[in-house]
Chain A
């Protein structure tokens, strides 16, 4: 069955760029019709949608983060990537990747998440 696994740096300094990768196993990231999303969760707080990538390559971003976010895919490695620039302490949290086979809001498969702390 499809599995997602995030990996990240753990610690990032303020003003630098956060980079997180989602490795997909048990299926192809290029499968027709799927959305691949990034969602984050600050410690003790709720979920925030960061953005999504459609199988065709189209990307969609949270308007509040759009100027700092880039989501891309490496089909040769079957990986989804997230880059968030100019990070601050407010970007600290667990970063999840997830897949939706129906609509942009309905993520039925999630990774375990990776914790990223912005710390100087």
Chain B
């Protein structure tokens, strides 16, 4: 069971939009609409930002959106703000009652 593949880092300027990809296989991301995204600031616990591919929990800004195509899920952050600088992790149900995380992406707001 290998981790989902994410870019190690992405960056963008305030106000811009960025997209973080999360590539799995036909056995996990490609088979289920159970992909979630987490934001983690240094020294803090992760926070759920997106679930079921594109759903936002109550209280999460609508600047965060999720999508999926084939074996790849994506998180898009629009109107980038300094407070968005953090690590982001995707997570997918992988069948047989198992779950896997991506390796994480460090977002830098320039």
Name A residues whose Cβ lies closer than 8 Å to a Cβ of B. 37, 39, 46-49, 52, 60-64, 96, 102-108, 110-113
Contact = CB atoms under 8 A, between A and B. Distances in A.
B104 interface: yes
Given A60-B98, A62-B98, A47 B38 contact: yes
Interface residues of B, dominant DSSP: strand
Contacts of B93: 103-105
A23 B16 CA distance: 41
Interface residues of A, dominant DSSP: loop
B1 A64 contact: yes
B47 A110 contact: yes
Contacts of A61: 98
A106 to B, nearest CB: 4
A108 B45 contact: no
Interface in B80-110: 89, 91-93, 97-104
